[in-house]
Amino acid sequence: MNNDGPAAPCFDATFRARLHDLFCWRRDVRRFRADPLPPGMLEGLIEIACRGPSVGLSQPWRFVVVDDPGRRQGVIANFESCNNEARGEYTGDLSARYAALKLAGLREAPCHLAVFADRSTSVGHGLGRRTMPEMADYSVVTAIFSMWLAARAEGIGMGWVSILDPAMIAIILDVPADWRLIGYFCLGYPQAADDSPELERAGWEQRQPVKDFIFRR
Amino acid sequence: MNNDGPAAPCFDATFRARLHDLFCWRRDVRRFRADPLPPGMLEGLIEIACRGPSVGLSQPWRFVVVDDPGRRQGVIANFESCNNEARGEYTGDLSARYAALKLAGLREAPCHLAVFADRSTSVGHGLGRRTMPEMADYSVVTAIFSMWLAARAEGIGMGWVSILDPAMIAIILDVPADWRLIGYFCLGYPQAADDSPELERAGWEQRQPVKDFIFRR
C-alpha cells in the first residue's frame, strides 16, 4: 500500500472546483500576444506532458520545438494551402462563414511545437498495442492535453492546428518518416480569456446536451 | 475581451502545485475495491469529459455505460483471449514477466465504460478534419483524459483496457459499426494510491529522461 513513498495527496473540494474552472476556461487559442514565454517554461510544460499515461509505458511522444523562421514559414504556407482547399469545399453561407473564421495563430504565436508519435518504439515491449496500435497515438494526445491544462494554469494559451498535410510537415521539419504527426501547436499568452469556444461564439457550431452522448448497454 | 461573462479565474501557485500532484498521482488502475461509485458520479465525470476540446466543436465522443452482466462477460472473454495471444508472442524471460502482470481490473471494477469516436458526425461541419480525419479520435482522447484527472481528484481510479478486439467489442455492445472504439475503461476506488506506474514498479519498463523526447528544428 505504498508504505515507502511520499503520502498520497488528498484533493479537496476547493481544488476540485478550481480544476473544474480549468476545464471550463481552457481554450483552443488562435489570438496570441507577441511576448515570448519565460525561459524554461516550454521545457517545464513538456516535462508535465511526459507524466501522461502511455500504453505499456512506451512513452512514444516526440516533441519538436520549431524556431527556424524558414521552417515556420513552410508550415504557415502549408496551413494556408490546406485552409484554402478546405474553404473551397463549403458552399453558400457556410463558405462565407468559414472564410471569416480565424483558425490558427501561426504568425503571431511566439512558440511553435510539433508533436509526433513514434509507433515503432521498442520501449514498452509492445504491451497493449497489439490489437490497437493506435494506442501509441492516444498516449501522445494525453501528453499534449496534460501540457495544455498546465499551460492554461500558467495563463498560457495553446492552439491545435490540424489544417495541415502531415506528410509535408514531417518533411519540412526533417523528422523520421515513420513518426506520425499528432498535432502542431501554437503557444503564447492569449489576447483574451473566455469560457466558451471561439467556434461557438462565432456561430459555427454549438455545444450539444451531455445526455445525447451517453448510451447504456 | 469577455466583458459580458464571468471574470476569468486566476490560477495561483498553490493550485498549480496541486495540479502537478494530480498529474503525478494519476494512475492506470487495475486493482479496484468492489464498492460502487456514488450515484451520479459517473454522469458528472462524463459531463466534465464533454468539456474537452473537439475538432471543429464536433463533439464526436460516445460514452457507453456497460452494466449488463452478459455483455461484461463478453468483454472479459475477449480480453482474456487477446491477452493469451499477446502473451504467446513473448519468449523467455519476457513471457514469464508478461504472464505475471495484472493488466486489467474488469472482474472487480464496479463500473465499465466504453468510449467511441463517431467520425461520421456532421456536427462541426467537418472543420479541421479534412487532412487529419483522426482528429475526431484525438478529441475523444482529450475527453477521456479530462474525466480521468477529474476522477483521480475524487479519489476514483480509471484503467484503460486496450487488449481487446475493437470490432468484437462493437458487436458485443451493439453500437453502430462505424463507431471507433477508443478505449474500454474500468472505474472504481483503487486499492492503493501510488505516484509511479504499476508497470514501472513491476520492472516491465522505466521512465526515460524528458530531454530524450525534445528535438529542435
Burial class (CB in 10 A: 0-12, 13-18, 19+), B179: buried
The H or E element spanning position B116 is: strand B111-118
Q: How many CB atoms lie within 10 A of CB B177?
A: 7
Question: Does the structure show a pLDDT above 50 at B2?
Answer: no
Selected residue of B27, B58, B131 to mutate for chain A interface (largest A Cβ count, 10 A): B131
- Per-residue exposure over B2-17, b if at least 16 CB sit within 10 Å of its own CB, e if not: eeeeeebbebeeebee
Give the model's confidence band at B198: pLDDT under 50 very low, under 70 low, under 90 confident, else very high.
very high
Domains of chain B, with CATH numbers?
27-191 (3.40.109.10)
Is B210 in contact with A46 (Cβ distance < 8 A)? Answer: yes
Q: What is the pLDDT of residue A3?
A: 53
Q: Please tell me the distance from the alpha carbon of residue B14 to that of residue B10, in angstroms, as a whole number.
A: 11
> Could you tell me if A138 and B141 are in contact, meaning their C-beta atoms sit under 8 angstroms apart?
yes
Burial of B44 (0-12, 13-18, 19+ CB in 10 A): middle
Q: Does residue A44 sit at the B interface (CB-CB below 8 Å)?
A: no
Question: Mean pLDDT in chain B?
Answer: 96
Task: Write the pLDDT tens digit of every residue in B176-189.
Answer: 999 999 999 999 99
Nearest-CA distance A34 → chain B (Å): 17
Other CB atoms within 10 Å distance of the CB of residue A46: 22
What separation in angstroms does the CA of A91 have from each of A88, A97, A98, B125?
8, 10, 10, 12
So what's the pLDDT on residue A1? 46
B62 touches chain A (CB under 8 A): yes
- CA of B86: which chain A residue's CA is closest? A130
ipTM tops the 0.95 cut: yes
Three-class DSSP category at B149:
helix
Closest CA to B180 of B147, B139, B122: B139
Contact A195 B6 (CB under 8 A): yes
* Residues of A (23-42) whose Cβ lies below 8 Å from B: 23-26, 28
Give the mean pLDDT of B133-159: 98
Going by C-beta distance under 8 Å and a sequence separation of 6 or more, which residues neighbour residue B134? Answer: A137
Q: What is the pLDDT along chain A (217 residues), one digit of tens a residue?
A: 445 678 899 999 999 999 999 999 999 999 999 999 999 999 999 999 999 999 999 999 999 999 999 999 999 999 999 999 999 999 999 999 999 999 999 999 999 999 999 999 999 999 999 999 999 999 999 999 999 999 999 999 999 999 999 999 999 999 999 999 999 999 999 999 999 999 999 999 999 999 999 999 9
pLDDT in tens, B54-72: 999 999 999 999 999 999 9
